[in-house]
Amino acid sequence: MNGTEYQLAYYGLSKNTENRGDKMLLTGVATNPATKQLEQVTREITLDQYYYQNIYAQQTANFVETVNWLRLRSVNLSYDLPSSVFQSVKWIKGRTLH
């Protein structure tokens, strides 16, 4: 997840939020309180700060990216030396090189 893009969108600084003020149709399903049946509902909403903070930013799919790299904080490489290398040295007990 791209946390930087999330913060930029949340505060209205992302390129994805340049369409603020535009209208968009949302279609979904809701329960009709009178009939207790599910019905298809379409609503027109304004793409404003409320939308980007409470609807757009809550959908993690908006911030998932395909990456072809990996960042490591640290790498630990080690090599076990053969015991024959240190046979003549009595004070060396270990034989792992980091």
Q: Which domain holds residue 10?
A: 1-67
Q: Is residue 30 part of a domain?
A: yes
pTM: 0.57
Name which residue leads in pLDDT, 86 or 20.
Answer: 20
In a domain, 32, yes or no: yes
Number of domains composing the chain: 1
Q: Looking at the domain assignment, is residue 21 inside a domain?
A: yes
Asked if residue 90 belongs to a domain, the reply is no
In a domain? residue 93: no
What 3-state class would DSSP assign to 54? helix
Instruction: In whole angstroms, give the CA distance from residue 63 to residue 55.
Output: 13
Cβ neighbours of residue 60 closer than 8 Å, sequence gap 6 or more? 1
Residues 30 and 9: beta-carbon distance below 8 Å: no
Closest Cα to residue 55, out of 65, 43, 67, 66?
43
Domain-located, residue 96: no
Q: How confident is the model at residue 93 (pLDDT cuts 50, 70, 90)?
A: low
With 60 as the cut, is the pLDDT of residue 98 above it? Answer: no
pLDDT of residue 36: 94
